[in-house]
Chains A and B, each alone.
Chain A
Amino acid sequence: MSDEPDPYALIEAVALRKDRAAFAVLFGVYAPKVRGYLLRSSRDEVQADEWTQEVMLRVWRRAGSYDPAKAAPSTWIFTIARNVRIDAARKVRPELDPADPALVPSQPLAPDSAVDRQRRQHRVRAAVGALPDAQAGVLRGAYFDGKTLRQIAEEQELPLGTVKSRVRLAMARLRQHLEGT
């Protein structure tokens, strides 16, 4: 047995028992990472602290709706942090409603394919890591930092065309990499 806290168990304790001690452990693990993530889009530390507070508050309030079969704890917390970042910019993110009768449902996952799924997600991340730095940087700017290609171009002082062609190259390589494994 390792002493690493198990985030699945912690979220469950918050969801079922409103367990404040479990929440404090979860906070200790994720709040510093969430703050690091938020500081990537705003250099303002006071603001990053406020947003981190908001993210962790939503973790507390929404723990009951966390579905471990659908997403890893880190994925779930990333989506909360992303949405706080979007709200803070006074923007709206239209999202689908999983309970909507007009939604076309996914095929239920076989027990093995949940593991396949996790493996595939690690592969996506590994494939990004295997890209040349310039391409990985542009892609990470999009899927992690949530920056538009125009913002990435401005920050890196590159022509927009260069950033676009890096994305194209990165996607072609990723496809090769993911299909070849």
Chain B
Amino acid sequence: MTPIHHIPEEELIAYAGGATTEGLALFVATHLALCPDCRAVVEDWEAAAGLELEDQEETELPSGLLDRVLAELDDTPLPADEAPPDRAVLPQPLRGYVGDVHELQWRRLVPGIRQVVLPFQIDGTPLRLFELQAGLKIPVHTHTGTERTLVLTGGFTDQAGQYGPGDVSFLDDSENHVQVIDPGEPCIALIAADGPLVPRSVTAWLLSWFVTA
């Protein structure tokens, strides 16, 4: 199963060229690890950039540059990359930042929701890893900016459809929505959302929890 909800091509282009901030690149590259389709798009843009490089107007090299490089060539092989583990749940590059699922330093926000804060923002909105309990219903909430979500395990459903591992959801401030976490396993997702957004939805959720409990 490959994802059906993707990253917009403009962002794949920016990633191919190397214009994305570390936080956005982490989000994009983690989707790429789960999405062969978007990987192919990035590779096409890198190839287009390669063709652009071929046609680059040649500048005159300062004399001696080749000799300087030749003098630095060494025959010692590069140290081998660390062998990847046999199995992993969270993909690279994300795993390199937070560890795999059993190593995550979760902090409980409210019953059913735990988070790991990452030291990044995307367009000014903080990037976090969330774990949302299976079956959880997050009531109607709106956003003050764009909320982006990348599902890593489990899934959720909202009025736009169902999102499983690798799927990316974008919601802007015009949308009121309810998210229902799919039954089965908890949903772990990488989410960039406004500071006020999550507390607001969580507050609403907390409220409904107290009302129904």
Contact = CB atoms under 8 A, between A and B. Distances in A.
B72 A57 contact: yes
Interface string A112-156: 000000101110110010000000000110111111100100000
Given A76-B50, A81-B53, 8 more contacts: A32-B59, A53-B65, A71-B50, A96-B30, A101-B87, A104-B34, A124-B45, A171-B10
A119 to B, nearest CB: 11
26 contacts: A28-B66, A31-B65, A32-B59, A34-B56, A49-B65, A53-B69, A57-B73, A61-B74, A70-B43, A73-B50, A75-B49, A78-B46, A78-B53, A81-B53, A100-B84, A103-B92, A104-B2, A104-B35, A106-B36, A121-B44, A121-B48, A143-B45, A144-B52, A146-B18, A148-B19, A171-B10
A96 B95 CA distance: 10
Contact of B29 (A53, A94, A118): A94
B47 interface: yes
B46 to A, nearest CB: 5
A13 interface: no
A36 B50 CA distance: 13
Given A57-B72, A75-B49, A124-B48, A100 B88 contact: yes
Interface in B37-69: 39-40, 43-54, 56-62, 65-66, 68-69
Contacts of A24: 66, 70
A110 interface: no
B17 A143 contact: yes
Interface residues of B, number: 66
Contacts, number: 198
If over half of B's interface residues share one DSSP class (helix, strand or loop), that class is named, otherwise mixed; here it is helix
Given A61-B78, A75-B47, A92 B58 contact: no
Contacts of B69: 27, 31, 53, 56-57, 60
Interface residues of A, number: 74
A49 B40 contact: no
A91 B51 CA distance: 25
Contacts of B2: 104
B44 to A, nearest CB: 5
Given A20-B70, A20-B73, A96-B33, A74 B53 contact: yes
A173 interface: no
B52 A125 contact: yes
A155 B40 CA distance: 31
Nearest to B13: A143
Q: Sort A-B residue pairs by CB-CB distance and give the 9 closest, nearest first.
A: A75-B50, A74-B50, A146-B18, A121-B47, A94-B93, A32-B58, A102-B91, A106-B36, A146-B17
B175 interface: no
B4 interface: no
Given A72-B47, A121-B48, A35 B59 contact: yes
A73 B33 CA distance: 23
A101 B53 contact: no
B168 interface: no
A62 B78 CA distance: 8
Contact of B49 (A32, A120, A144): A144
Interface string B9-21: 1100110111100
Contacts of B65: 31, 49, 52-53
B64 to A, nearest CB: 10
B22 interface: yes
Contacts of A33: 53-54, 56, 58
